[in-house]
Structure 1
Amino acid sequence: MKKYVMFGHNNLFGDLVEIIHANGGVLTKIIQNMPEPSYPNRPTLKERLASLQDSEHNPDNINQSYPIEVLPLEDFSPEPDEVYLMGFTGFRMDSLRQELLAKFQIHFDPLIHPSALISPTAKISSGVIINMGSIIASGVFLGNHVAINKGVIIGHDTHLQDYVIVQPGVKVAGHVRIRKGAVLGIGSVVIEDLKIGEYSMIAAGAVVIRDVPSHTLVAGVPAIPKKQINH
């Protein structure tokens, strides 16, 4: 059984744990790299862990017999046979990734739900996450730490650079180029042969029929620029 160590966490925590379990693994540690933010109407990490290990509501949950240790980053040291993943998504993880690589030479394996359909000619880079029911077509390239949520379709020969986030139900046609750090909102559609600029955002439900400039939010049907994004 693979023992996973998660660095940080966000609202995808439950999904990531489900993918770990679907691959026959177990989450054993969460490494906190910063204080936990507080969000209204969202469970805390403590509440998530209590629910995860609740034998009454999760009688078949693997983690109920494997306590999950929560450690600050300064107390972390690698152990043999651990598998590492980032518990949050997007380009803001880059500094932590570089720190872990420099200190510990940590490698992040892809985490892929078994129900995802992936062409044997697709190229999947370090730390990629692919959630259940997604389809990755032939010739696709997914850069480091790309996050593909549920029910996504990525068309043939499309390239996604590092840290791109693709939210549930997105459909991207063939030969699209999506630059570093872009975010594609829930249910958005991108037609073929377009370029999506770095750190741009496509709003939920938008239909993109022309190139999107870098650092730009687009929305609507068809999608049009709404504002500049400063990171």
Structure 2
Amino acid sequence: MPSALLQLSRVSRTFQVGDETVHAVLDIELGVEAGETLAIVGPSGSGKSTVMNMMGLLDRPTAGDYIFDGQPTRALRSADRADLRNHAIGFVFQQFHLLPHLTALQNAELPLRYRGLSAAQAAAAARDALAAVGMGHRSAHRPGQLSGGEKQRVAIARAVAGRPRLLLADEPTGALDSATGVRVLDVLRGAARDSGAALVMITHDAGIARALPRRITMRDGRIALPEAQ
């Protein structure tokens, strides 16, 4: 049987806005297996970004438990959460978040240098990741010299260079045209498969969601459809 990489158990997340308590996520039960690919879909305000932030250890649940790779995370200190995030989780965002003054290679190296790898080790891993997403020939180019699809490939390389257990993608095709988005999705899925990472993707694009083997729909902070095939 596959092993659960992460488990959200009765997880809720609330925010206080003035006198009002906003329930962003309510009693979420969700497991993701090692190596699994999952799309989370739903309208704006449905809670899907909040769920992703909790999966990525960026936010803490207000209630419930989040277990990552067998480790309960609620009581972890901020420094321990940051260390776990750096070693085990990769992020891909809609707006790429590449540093404009760095080359593609330097952008892909950056998380590895924060992890403590030597310059040579980080460069070797980053080169391999760029080659895997078809960007090895553009490693010396800066983001301003790259197309939107190329920037997203560099962002994917940066996310997988450290071989994370979990890859989180927040609208990774949202800033791209349809044809480029499909190509980037293929690259993202291939990169996750090659690195052995589970892939969880937020998307508004129904076509992108249908391309993934498992999908859940969120509405009003809850999972509306546990799995829609």
Q: Could you state the TM-score of these two structures normalised by the residue count of structure 1?
A: 0.26
User: 1 or 2, which has the higher helix percentage?
Assistant: 2
Q: Could you state the TM-score of these two structures normalised by the residue count of structure 2?
A: 0.26
